[in-house]
A and B are shown apart, each in its own frame.
Chain A
Amino acid sequence: MVSDTKKKAFIESFSDFMSDSEGLEQEDLIADLKEQKMDVNQLKIDVAEVVKRGSEERRLGWRRRAKQKIEAIEKLLGCAQVIPGSVIDVKDRITAFIKDTYGPGALDHAEAYFRNKGTLSESDIKYLFEDLEQLESLEKPSSKQD
């Protein structure tokens, strides 16, 4: 807060002094409010209602947040649908390809080699898959010749 740089008017200082409840007991404050013809019991009932309603709404807030998350996921899935299936499951296909072509030992070797393949982009993996397919097509005729 910015502090007052000039002297306050008497009424302002008096209002500040009297409005501060520090050092006053609750019965002092209640007596003051009753002096103003305020129904203190009704005041407590009203605030309890505000608190009850507020608490309920805040507790149900998780539903609102969950709905927002679901909408975001659905939107993401909607985008995923336009990506060709061959690209989405490319990692599985690579795994199967290596396992089938070179055996389980090669798969372990490949997994160790591509330990950080999770950081590769989909297009990197797609190119890798294409390279492996080309390699396979080169190897197959040569094995036939043997």
Chain B
Amino acid sequence: MGKEDEVLKHLEAADWDDIIIKLTHYARWRAWRYRWRVGNPDQLPSGKTPRDIALNAITKVWTGKRAWDPDKYPDLLAHLKWIVKSDMNHLFTSMGHMTGCRINDSENRDGPEITYNEAIPDPASDLCEPPQTPEESLLAKERTQHEEKAKQELFALVKGDEDLELLLLCIDDGIDKPELIAKEMGCDVTKIYTLKRKLLRKASAINKIMQQEQ
């Protein structure tokens, strides 16, 4: 069996109903990282939505534009998430939808696409250089204030639920992997999943907080 036949066999056997739901969920929450000037992370630049980004990632794998090698990367969902991450970052840099820091557009607009396993910079961290101009300093300060406000409101949202408060404290410390949070909180990882479910049920309120954060 040739390599292409093998990939086709894997792709055809995949549970696409499950994948599209997980991938769109990933894209929807990933979009929060970007401070889109449009003000709503569900409406990304070029009129795209997290749903479009997820579907497009799947199309790219099928057409071979973003080839998938099941021998090297057996986890198809992880590969697709990487494409979503990369495409969203590309959209972000090419459209100049950045408020707190700037990226040299000429380096990113027409440059080669990032290849698998290359680090994809995060919008508010790795690529951001320290503010150089008074305008950049002001924007950075404003962003920090907005993030602090959003954080406080999220803590207020879970006030009274000790477990969720502890969870947010871990997240505030930069611990965001369920296993590590469980270790930090001294509980089983399944409890962390239950807490995530609890947070998801508050998604509507979280959305409002996050939109204010824009």
Contact mask for chain B residues 183-214; partner A; CB cutoff 8 A; 1 contact, 0 none: 00000011011001101110110010000010
Any B CB within 8 A of the CB of A26: yes
Q: Is the beta-carbon distance between A23 and B11 smaller than 8 angstroms?
A: no
Partner of B122, one of A12, A17, A25, A32: A12
State A23–B22 Cα separation when bound (angstroms).
Answer: 11
State A91–B114 Cα separation when bound (angstroms).
Answer: 54
A9-67 interface (Cβ within 8 A of B): 9-26, 28-33, 35-36, 38, 40, 43-44, 46-48, 50-51, 53-55, 57-59, 61
State A4–B180 Cα separation when bound (angstroms).
Answer: 15
State A60–B122 Cα separation when bound (angstroms).
Answer: 39
Contact-residue size bin, chain B (C-beta under 8 Å from the other chain): 35 or more
Q: Is the beta-carbon distance between B24 and A11 smaller than 8 angstroms?
A: no
Q: Is the beta-carbon distance between B28 and A33 smaller than 8 angstroms?
A: yes
Q: Is the beta-carbon distance between B125 and A9 smaller than 8 angstroms?
A: yes
Identify whether the interface residues of B are mostly helix, strand, loop, or mixed.
helix
Partner of A12, one of B25, B33, B51: B33
Identify whether the interface residues of A are mostly helix, strand, loop, or mixed.
helix
> How many whole Å from A35's CB to the nearest CB in chain B?
5
User: Which residue from chain A places its CB closest to the CB of B59 in the assembled complex?
Assistant: A50
Any B CB within 8 A of the CB of A8: yes
Number of interface residues of A (CB under 8 A): 48
Q: Is the beta-carbon distance between A33 and B25 smaller than 8 angstroms?
A: yes
State A59–B21 Cα separation when bound (angstroms).
Answer: 26
* 7 A–B contacts, CB within 8 A, in A order: A11-B124, A23-B192, A25-B197, A43-B55, A46-B20, A47-B17, A53-B62
